[in-house]
Each structure stands twice: as C-alpha cells, then as structure tokens.
Amino acid sequence: MAASLLLNLGARAMNATQGAINVIGHNIANANTPGYSRQTAVLKTALPQFTGAGFIGKGVQLDTVNRAFNRFLQREVQNSQAQAAGDETRVINMRRLEKIFPPGESGLGAAMSGFLNAMVDVASRPADPSARQVVLGRAQEMATRFASAGRQLADLQAGVVTELQTSVSIVNQLANQIASANNEVARLQGSGHSANDLQDQRDQLITQLSKYLAITTLEADDGSTSVFIGGGQRLVLGAQAQQLAVHADPYDPLRARLGLVEAGGTRPLDGNVLSGGSLSTLVTFQDEDLQDARNFIGQLATALSMRVNEQQALGLDLSSPPGSGVPIFSVGKALALPASTNARDPSGAFISGVQITRVDAAFLQASSYTLKSDPAAPGTYLLTRESDGLVRTVADGDVVDGFRIDFTPAAPGPLDTFRLEPVAAAALDMRRMLDQAQGIAAASPISAVTLVTNTGSASVDAIYSVDATTFNLANLPADLLFGTANPDGTVDYTLSGPFGSVNGVWRPGQPLGNELGVALGFELHLSGVPRTGDQIQLIATQFPAQNNGNVKAFLALQGANFVGQRDLGGGVISSGATLNDAYAAAMGEIGARVQGAEYLSQVSTQVAEQAEASRAAEVGVNLDEEAARLMQFQQAYQAAAKVLQVAQTVFDELINVVR
C-alpha cells in the first residue's frame, strides 16, 4: 500500500506540474497577442487519507486556471481609447476642412481682392472693353472658387455620412460578436471554471467597440457583460444585441443622425449624451465645425454678391440707351427647413411654412437659427441664433440679422420647428450672371463739376449713388456752395436744389450728400480743402462712357466694414469687418480649431497608451518571469519523476521479497 501511495503521489505531482507548465507555455505563446491576459495555474493539496497513524497526504492537484484581470484598469483603457479615437477622428476631419480655407493666392481672399482690384483699370479707362473683360474674368474666377469651396464642403458632408454608415456597420458586428461571446461564457460558467481565453476575446471586442462609442459595462452573475451607450441605452444585454442605424436629420436629409433599431422603428439618440468615440465625434463635427464653415463661406459670398449687385444697380452701363446695371452675381437661396415631425395635412404636405428673404447684406451673420413656438406665449415665436445661443421673440414679417421672416401658407403650430439657414447654401450655387462687358455699370448717374473760379484746393475725388431709395435725379441739378472756414479745419456749406436748401459743416474726409439730415442718396468725396465762395455743381451724368464714379464705389468696398454688423439695440450698431478681415478671421478660427484638436489628440493618445501600459504591466505576460517559472516547474516535474522512479524501485523490491 505504501508503494501504491508513493506512486500516486508522484503521478499526481507530475500531472499537476505538467498542467502548470502547459499554462506557462500558453502565456509565452500569447505574449504578443493583443488583449491577452496572463493566466496562472492554481495548485492545491489533495484531500489526505486517514490511517491509524493519522492523515497521510495524497499530494497535489491542479485546482483551476485563473486569469489576471483588473476591472478598473480595463475600464480606464476603454474610456481612454474612446477619447483618443474621437480626438484622432476630429483631427483628420479638421485637417480636411482646413484645406478649404487656403491662404495666399489660392484662397478666397485673394479672389475677392482680385475682382475688386480689376476695377482699377476700368476706373482709368471706363470705355475700354479689355479692362471690362478682365473684370468679368476675375468675377468668374471668384464665383468659381466660392462654388468649389461649397462643393468641397458638400463632399465632406457626404464623406461624414459614409463614414458614419461604415462605422455603424462595424459597431453592429462587434455588438453581435460580444453577445455571442456572452452566450458562450454563460454556457461554460456552469462548469465552475472561467473561460479565460473567451473572456479575453470578449474584452478585446469591447475595447474595439469603445473606439467608436463611449461605453459603460455591467457584469452579470452568469459571467456575461452588458454594454450600454449614450447615458444608459443598452447595446448588448446578455446574449442579445441591439443594432445602431444611420438615419436622415429631421431638418436636412443630407445630414445624418444615429439611432437604435427597436421593434417600433428607429429611436434617435440624443447627440448631447453621446460622448467620446469616433461616431460621436463625426456627428459633432458635422453639426458644429462643418456647419460653421458653411456659414462662414456663405456669409462672405452673400455679403459680397449682394453689396456688389446693389452698387451695380446704382450705376449706368454702356447699353443704348444707358440703363441701370443688372446683377453680376447670384448665390444659393436662403433656406427655411421644416422638421420632419411638423404637422401635415391628409395629403402629406406640411400645414405651416416659413420663408426667409435676405434684405441687408451687412447684418447677415455666419449662423443658423432655430424657430419654434413660445410655449409661454401662444402666437409668438422664439428664434435662437445657434452661433451664440441668443434667443429673441419674433413675429410674421420681422427682420432679424439682415433677413425677413414670413409665415406662409400658415404660421407654425405649437409643436412645429424650423431650421433657418440664411447663408449656409449661398456659396455652393454662386454664379456669375453678367456675360456682357458693356453691362458693367461703371458710370455714376450723378456728376460733379468744380467751377474754374474756385480758389481752394478742393477737387472731386469721387461721386456716386449709394441708396436707391433716397437718390432721385429729380433733385438735380444742385449747387454746393462753401462758406466760412472754421478754426478747427471744417467749412460751412449750403446745398441747394429742387429739394430746397440744406446747411451743414464739411469735415476733411467726410462725404457729402448722405450724412445725417442730408440723405440724398449719393456720396461726394473731396480731395483738398475748399475756400469760402468755392462752388460745385451737381448734374445728371450725360456721357456714361467717360464717367467712372460707380467704379470708385466698387473700389471703396475693399475697405468698407459691411460684413457681420450687429444691431446691439438702442440705436447702437457694431462695426462689421472688411471682406479680407472676415476671411482672415474665418481662416484663423479654423486654424485655431485644428491646433486645438491636434493638441487634444496628442494628449489623449498619450493617456490611452499609458492606460494600456498600466493594464499590460499588471495583467500582461512578462517573458522573464514566465521563463523563471518555467524553470521552477521543470525542476518540480523532474523531482516528481524522481519520486515516481523511487516508488517503482520500492515496488520492485517488494515484488522480489514476495517471491
């Protein structure tokens, strides 16, 4: 019996040690496998055997194989991976967006300056067809660049939708694989031992999923791990997986939203609760960065085209007979987009409607707006400017930020909402409308003549119409007579004509004819200083081919602050920006966002790497440690074999004695 017990001791020791060596070999083989967690063989003493001399040990046995796992570090890896993947996605898309705002000669700023600068030659030679043709060529180039930028933004939007669809497909596959792994883990859990490798694979799938969406996990008693997104929305619950879907934005079908597929249809996910991961970042990029870029470019295209067309209409072209200039540019329409959930009639058409019309280019903002009914005051409506969150009460026919709001065919209902985009679609459809060079309205309808008897140094620098509503040829001819020169450099004057007589004070650099109290719809700019008794006659232009007054108004647009003015209330108007300053500000804003995204991406990537390094340090395979343990159990195996050899010898001796 003693020999038999010794044989069992050796055999048990060899089996247990062989199992430990197998586990160590498994660790070494998977040292470089992503997501693999170190496994450890757990040995325990076998139940002893009772004899008359007490309990005799029966050796060792392999109890189970444990997996090194730290739930806190695993969660840190998942969270940091979500943040890093989201930041990397934003950097990639922001760099694409930055290319649409190039500096230098290839940028929109250079195209706008080139168009206005081309007017210089027309100002020198108003009747020269070649100079006029150059203006048309620069106008075409500028319109083409704006339209190209609009198309690039549209392509970028389409790319975001495609990337969302591709990523959602991957997320759904991962969710199904996690659910399948949960099913296998729960099935094997009944054996009393953990399916270590299967759990590693499941955790690796969850980590891959976290790159697309920020997730939270919850472990169940059966060993399964449930996955939740978006503030508690279940994606995987045990062996069941929900499916994500990409559906159209309720206002704009070209934009995308995320939703969960349920029995009753697709339930939209609130973008505010989706944080981290590439999917959330793509939605944010679409809603904020890309939309802001469309508004930036659209504001420039609209402000420039409207202002140029307005000034063009105030001049005279070279047609026979001369007439007011026709528009040079056209841009995309202002859009009022109804929500898909708005009330409809039995035929499916929307009951209510909103139309917006641009009326003042200077006050148009680079922003979109949301219009909805005011729940506290039925019949009134709240307009939210998305760029800064300003909320105002509006009614039918109100003019806000340079555009008019009209309710047609009916006012919005209590639950109806609209998204207003005054400028977002302007650049995409920008075109040059004028094809005939003689159609450029270079001449001003009003001319100024200084008398030869004047003794001062004042001369006419430019005179042109600035306001079609107040300028009237019936007010001509008119005489401008300068009176007393004042010590502060100003000069009194009297302007008389069919409209009567107006007295005022001229200051150097101040235009005459459109200042407060003398709004006659034109501006007269002087060079030099008039003296007492100097006189200037204002008459209707008789020879448009020799007049360059309106061209000088075009040249003045370069230095005019007519982009993005704001009515601050109380009669206070904030100064806007010039065309070049507005474009430079847009480039600076995009550049700052790119730099911020790059910095955040670097930081989050380092954090993710550190989190993974911390997890690997605790649960990963250390080859030096495994080699030492391999030698340890190799020696234990040899010793167990020696015990078995001794037991064999003892058994043989006993047989010999019996013989």
Cβ proximity of 213 and 171 under 8 Å: yes
Cβ proximity of 468 and 313 under 8 Å: yes
**Dihedral angle of Cα 632, 633, 634, 640, to the nearest 10 degrees:** 120
Please count the other Cβ atoms lying within 10 Å of the Cβ belonging to residue 393.
Answer: 11
Instruction: Write the single-letter amino acid at 125.
Output: R
Average pLDDT, integer, range 86-95: 95
For residue 299, pLDDT over 80 is answered with yes
Q: Nearest-CA neighbor of 595 among 80, 83, 85, 90?
A: 90
Percent of the chain residues past pLDDT 70, beyond the cut: 98
Please count the other Cβ atoms lying within 10 Å of the Cβ belonging to residue 415.
Answer: 12
Average pLDDT, integer, range 255-265: 88
Phi, psi of 615 (to 5 degrees): -65, -45
> Residue 301: in which H helix or E strand, if any?
helix 291-313
pLDDT in tens, 35-70: 899 989 888 888 877 777 777 777 888 888 888 888
pLDDT band at 504 (very low <50, low <70, confident <90, very high): confident
Count helices and strands (H / E) in the chain.
Answer: 11, 30
Annotate 105-166 with three-state secondary structure. Answer: HHCHHHHHHHHHHCHHHHHHCCCCHHHHHHHHHHHHHHHHHHHHHHHHHHHHHHHHHHHHHH
Q: What is the pLDDT of residue 233?
A: 87
Report in angstroms the alpha-carbon separations of 400 from 69, 367, 392, 569: 60, 12, 9, 12
Half-sphere exposure of residue 62: CA atoms within 13 angstroms, side-chain side: 19
Average pLDDT, integer, range 582-597: 94
What are residue 567's DSSP bridge partners?
A: 573
* 192 Rama sector, left if φ>0, alpha if ψ -120 to 50, beta otherwise: left
Task: Please tell me whether residue 268 adopts helix, strand or coil conformation.
Answer: strand
pLDDT in tens, 513-522: 876 556 788 9
For residue 467, pLDDT over 90 is answered with no
For residue 545, pLDDT over 80 is answered with yes
Global pTM reads 0.87
Task: Please tell me whether residue 357 adopts helix, strand or coil conformation.
Answer: strand
The residue ranking higher by pLDDT, 191 or 140, is 140
Average pLDDT, integer, range 355-360: 95
Q: Nearest-CA neighbor of 175 among 246, 239, 258, 223?
A: 239
Q: How far apart are CA 450 and CA 401, in angstroms?
A: 41
Q: Nearest-CA neighbor of 440 among 353, 354, 328?
A: 328
pLDDT in tens, 393-442: 999 999 999 999 999 999 999 999 999 999 999 999 999 999 999 999 99
Phi, psi of 419 (to 5 degrees): -105, 120
Sign of CA dihedral 113, 365, 301, 324: negative
For residue 606, pLDDT over 60 is answered with yes
The gap between the terminal CA atoms of the chain, to the nearest Å, is 17
pLDDT in tens, 614-630: 988 888 899 999 899 99
pLDDT band at 641 (very low <50, low <70, confident <90, very high): confident
Burial of 506 (0-12, 13-18, 19+ CB in 10 A): buried
